[in-house]
Every structure is written in structure tokens, then in C-alpha cells.
Chains A and B, each alone.
Chain A
Amino acid sequence: QQQVRQSPQSLTVWEGGTTVLTCSYEDSTFNYFPWYQQFPGEGPALLISILSVSDKKEDGRFTTFFNKREKKLSLHIIDSQPGDSATYFCAASENAYKVIFGKGTHLHVLP
């Protein structure tokens, strides 16, 4: 079944805190998992991505973890900033033509 479940739906953290978003999937053919960040009035933009052959990828304050056995992935944002306030989507794909998105997490970082 091609579905990506994302949680939480909404999250509020204090500036400097750590944000953790999670996703799960069922289709074993998925092999690429991007995370997108979307600000109001803009299209989604790639934040970080990971292939199913890896279990961790780090880019500055953003780290994504992947657990193939449990079919789960997560996004960790350390030292969260008010500028990180946005909607975050996890996604999964097995080819270039179809990407399945999670329902998104609305993140609010309070100063």
C-alpha cells in the first residue's frame, strides 16, 4: 500500500530546542526518502534526503534517520530557530515519476 504516515500534525518548540518529526511507510519498494520544507506562499523545497541503503544523513542542524526493518524515518532539528517555523513533509519514492507525500507537520518555533 502506497501511503506515508507522518506525525505529529502540529508541533511547537522553544527556540534552541530539538524538533523530532517521524514518518512510517508500508511499501517495501520505496527506496528514496526526501524531507521538504514549505513556507507560506511558496512551493516545497528539499531540505534533506536519504536513500534506503543508509541509516543516517546529516546536514548542519538537520539529521534524518532511516530504519529499513521498521519502515520508519525521522527528522531531527537541533537548536531550532524561529526561522525554522514552516510545514515539513516527508515523502517516499521508488522512481522519478511518483512521489508519495505525508500529510505534513506544522512546526512553530517560539522565541
Chain B
Amino acid sequence: ETAVFQTPNYHVTQVGNEVSFNCKQTLGHDTMYWYKQDSKKLLKIMFSYNNKQLIVNETVPRRFSPQSSDKAHLNLRIKSVEPEDSAVYLCASSPTDWINQDTQYFGPGTRLLVL
């Protein structure tokens, strides 16, 4: 049963455009994440949010900006996309004390293709 929802599933755009991806979780978790998965399946964390506060901001380009309205929603905006941004963007959520209780739950991902 899907509990982490992402929209859109797929997005094609041209270099220089702005895109936004949405993520919603219905698990009641207070921590959410954005990961980037490239064509070789490499998974790298981009951002981590706990109760709407940014916890981890990995060295991603400044054109990427996460936005959270509440602990159930975490969006990702990319200003002026570039070809190397083509990837699958995965949203995940977890309880804060997930190591002893639970784990990260991933959404199905948003596949971005930059032409």
C-alpha cells in the first residue's frame, strides 16, 4: 500500500526551465527526504527535513530548493534545469527515531528528463 505519494510520475522539459515536484506522506512521520538516483542507479541524499526544518543540505547546486509547508509535505523546486539534472528524484519519510522503530519509506519517484 503506497504511503508516500509523488507527482508527477514523469516530466520532460528543456534546459533553463523551472520544474517543481511534490511529495506527500500519510504515515505521520516527521522526517522527510529527497534523494537523487542517476541512470546508474546511484542513490544520493539531497535534503532532509524534520518538522519543516532543514537538517541536512548536501552539496547540491543552488538551483535546487526544497520547500515544506508541514511535516507531511516536502516539495522540490529546480530553477533553470540543466542536462545533468536528468534523473529519478525519490522522496522518502521516516520517524525521527527510525533506527529503533522503523525505517525510511520511499515513494515511486519522479523521473525528470532534460532535453
Interface of A with B (CB < 8 Å)?
31-32, 34, 38, 41-46, 49, 51, 87, 89, 93, 95-99, 101, 103-104, 106
A46 to B43, CA, bound (A): 14
Q: Is the CB of A104 within 8 A of B42?
A: yes
In this complex, how many residues of chain B approach chain A with their Cβ under 8 Å: the count is: 27
Give 4 nearest A-B pairs by CB, closest first. Answer: A43-B106, A101-B43, A97-B48, A97-B55
Q: List B contacts of A32 (CB < 8 A).
A: 99
Chain B residue nearest to A106 (CB atoms) is B41
Q: Is the CB of A46 within 8 A of B109?
A: no
Chain A residue nearest to B50 (CB atoms) is A97
Interface of A is mostly: strand
Q: List B contacts of A34 (CB < 8 A).
A: 103-104
With A34-B104, A104-B41, A106-B41 given, name 8 new contacts (CB 8 A).
A42-B109, A44-B106, A46-B104, A51-B99, A96-B50, A96-B96, A97-B50, A101-B44
